Amino acid sequence: MLLVVDAGNTNVVFAIHDGETWRGEWRISTSDQRTADEYAVWLLALIERAGLDPRVVDRAIIGTVVPAALYHLRRLCRQWFEIEPLIANLALDWGFPIDVNQPEEVGADRRLNGLAAQVLFGGPLVVVDFGTATTFDVVDRRGAFIGGVIAPGINLSIEALHQAAARLPRISVGRTSSVIGRSTTTAMRSGVFWGYIGLIEGIVARITDELDPETKVIATGGLAPLFSEGTTLFDHIAPELTLDGLRLLSDRNASRHARVSGHVPQSDLQD
């Protein structure tokens, strides 16, 4: 079975795929101070609670936009699963062109979203990912990743609004029944929800104008189902798109997977 690790700015998501379906998915807040042993105590207990045997995990792949977290995640795979994990970087075979000016600057999550969406839905398309940032990742009709748009994430905007204005409370994101808020809280919620609907619809319309009138729109990220309630824009909701990207990348580079035999010297764990 395959262990997939998606380390984002907010959460690290662990998931196990058995070759046909996802068997478990767990998340923990991202911290570059969390050690491999701390990850292991938490993760192994959850895997066993799901009725799975950690010993049947024989492959692993890590995608991260937090370089400082990679050391401990790689050590987790090596010491606790005896696996040499693949790292979702440009050294792997992605199977599609990354046609941008500086490919090394594109976050692994954006490349993974593009890969999974291209395989599952075909281009031309744009993936809207509701993460720490709200990203728009574009794949053209050739199947090439050609760039996109990065905007502030919803929760970042909420926190900035609260911190910058002394009298504005911290709110949770949610759809309002009316655009016009009758209180400060509902006015803020309306501004965030309908403001982001306007942002998404406007940016996607401009991307479609530049790219192709038949562009498909894919939504992913934890808030995708909520924002899909406010627009008919999305052709598909794919909450596990980044994980699917890691799975597909792992399958494409299957010959590079390897086991770790015996004890791994501390010097070999350094990156």
Query: Is 18 labelled as part of a ligand binding site?
Result: no
Query: Is 11 labelled as part of a ligand binding site?
Result: yes
Query: Is 208 labelled as part of a ligand binding site?
Result: no
Whether 115 contacts 125, CB under 8 Å = no
**CA atoms of 193 and 59, how far apart (whole Å):** 40
Query: Is 13 labelled as part of a ligand binding site?
Result: yes
What are the residue numbers of the active site?
Answer: 109
Task: List alpha helices for the chain, DSSP H.
Answer: 36-49, 67-80, 108-121, 154-164, 184-211, 224-228, 241-252
Long-range interactions of 90-95: CB distance < 8 A, separation 24+: 92/249, 92/252, 92/253, 92/256, 93/252, 93/253, 94/249, 94/252, 95/252
Q: Is 267 exposed, middle or buried (0-12, 13-18, 19+ CB in 10 A)?
A: exposed
Query: Is 53 labelled as part of a ligand binding site?
Result: no
Query: Is 205 labelled as part of a ligand binding site?
Result: no
Query: Is 107 labelled as part of a ligand binding site?
Result: yes
Query: Is 245 labelled as part of a ligand binding site?
Result: no
**CA atoms of 28 and 12, how far apart (whole Å):** 5
Query: Is 9 labelled as part of a ligand binding site?
Result: yes
Annotated binding residues, written as ranges, equal 6-13, 107-110, 129, 132, 184
- Binding site residue list for substrate: 107-110, 184
Residues at the binding site for ATP are 6-13, 132
Please state the residue numbers annotated as binding site for K(+): 129
